[in-house]
Amino acid sequence: MQQGEKLVIAFDFDGTLAGHGYPQIGPIQLDTFGSAIALKKLGCEIVLWTCRHGELLANAVQWCADRGLEFDAVNTESPGTRKWKKYISRKIYADIYVDDRGLPPAQLNAIIEYVNKRNSQKK
């Protein structure tokens, strides 16, 4: 991350923002979903990074929007990282990746605290 840039946080969909149920959409994962909204409000760039594509991806994006979560990017680089990245690869850049098979969603409270502290130090 470049100094002064927004934190970029990539969220998986199935098992993370929504429960497992592919190809259907599982139940909302309230803690993770609420944390994504909170991090967006704190000024982080939020990216949806999922294996879903086509209509299944469009349905997932709409499902999130209907519940108040809008993404800065979907399965691609966020606008903030495009400014300084020389190359685009299949793996998007993010400061933090949240996935039910990676960072436990319970750790999101620690990330929110970190972002709050970081934001207060900028002022």
What is the structure's pLDDT at 4? 52
* Tens-digit pLDDT profile for residues 67-109: 999 999 999 888 766 665 566 667 788 888 999 887 666 788 8
Read out DSSP for 9-55? Answer: EEE-SBTTTB-S-TTS---B-HHHHHHHHHHHHTT-EEEE--S--HH
What is the structure's pLDDT at 58? 98
Buried/exposed code over 38-67 (b: 16+ C-beta within 10 A; e: otherwise):
bbbebebbbbbbbebeeebbeebbeebeee
- Express as a percent the part of the chain with pLDDT over 70: 85
Q: Does domain 8-122 have CATH number 3.40.50.1000?
A: yes
Place of tokens 């990074």: 49
Two tokens, residue 26: 């599982």
pLDDT of 1 above 90: no
* Range in 27-31, 40-44, 54-58, 86-90 the model is least confident about: 86-90
